[in-house]
Amino acid sequence: MLITGNKKIETFYKALLDRKQSYVGIFFVGVKTTSVFCIATCRARKPKLENVEFYTTFKEALNNGYRPCKICKPTENANQAPEQVEKAIKLVKENLKEKITDYQLRQMEISAEIVRRWFKKNYGMTFQAYQRMYRINNAFLELKNGKNATNTAFDTGYESLSGFGYTFKKLVGKSPTNSKNKNIILINRLTTPLGPMFVCATEKGVCLLEFVDRRMLETEFKDLQKRLTANIIAGENEHIKQTKKEITEYFEGTRKTFGVKLETPGTDFQNLVWDYLQKIEYGKTSTYQQQAGNINNPKAVRAVALANGFNRISIIIPCHRVIGKDGKLTGYGGGLERKKWLLEHEYKNAST
């Protein structure tokens, strides 16, 4: 849809000038003078306001004669990692006991430089660090299943037991021989039409699902590790795989409820509020006052609002469905434009 409202155009144009990550996927901007379209974070020289028009999907920009910008690559970066990065990630997952070298990447026609830059920007770590975490997670699972540390070390590609032990303890928090009762939190990345998200899960279930640019995300990571007495390392388990599948279906408009298991460390009151959030039906909204009334504590409006703000599992625990009593949108960690998009998406698909 072409955006025609002056107020929204002004908002989107300011987001374009400021390169706001929270607007990635919210709009695609067509530049009339160059016939290209971009996402909000494009590094290219900014066009004048009179030379742009905004669309809600990149398909609409394409249909109106615009071609993807070669700098920000909107059809890739608004939704998923570049193809070369996807290939590199696939190599890691298919070779959990091997170290993937730059030479191997080149043999697969994958640019090691592109992969390194992408991981540093999107994960805040190197590709090699990402690999190490995946290998250590695989070793952790083998140790929990009874395999001894020496065999695990050499099977995982380490040339010395001491090197394996040092890396394992640094990432997991305990030595290989003392880790059987240790809990770890796995982190992975998924892509959505509203930008990339991080998903974290333990053996019990998903404990975090947030947009990567969410305010206070680092604080959430620290709090989660403290509450679960666990370290976060890159990896994937069945809960994460199920989340990726269900979130994809949600954005496609075919899923209205979620079945993935959750782990939500918090106070009894917070969990009471989060449980109620999951009872707000798809396509409908509630208010903080209604929430407080439904948990039989009508005076706890402010406490309910704070508990909503501490929700770490967005979309699945749908705090975006809570609005002000005057019908206006209230604060949302992922940004109000995302909240508006999610509500409109649900209203549109509620009857299908």
Q: Which two tokens stand for residue 308?
A: 């909503």
Sign of CA dihedral 338, 17, 10, 53: negative
Q: Are 179 and 119 in contact (CB under 8 A)?
A: no
Which string of DSSP letters, residue by residue, matches 43-57? -SPPPPGGGEEEESS
Torsion of CA 60, 62, 65, 69, to 10 degrees: 120
Q: Where are the alpha helices (DSSP H) in the chain?
A: 6-18, 58-63, 74-77, 83-94, 102-107, 112-122, 127-144, 149-155, 161-172, 217-228, 238-252, 268-277, 288-294, 301-309, 336-349
Active site residue 319: yes
Residue 228 three-state SS: helix
Q: Which amino acid is at 1?
A: M
Which string of DSSP letters, residue by residue, matches 167-187? HHHHHHSS-GGG-TT-EEEEE
Q: Are 261 and 249 in contact (CB under 8 A)?
A: no
Residue 334 CB neighbours (<10 A): 23
Catalytic pick among 38, 42, 72, 319: 319
Residue 279 CB neighbours (<10 A): 10
In terms of C-beta density within 10 A (0-12 exposed, 13-18 middle, 19 or more buried), how is residue 306 classed?
A: middle
Residues that are catalytic: 319
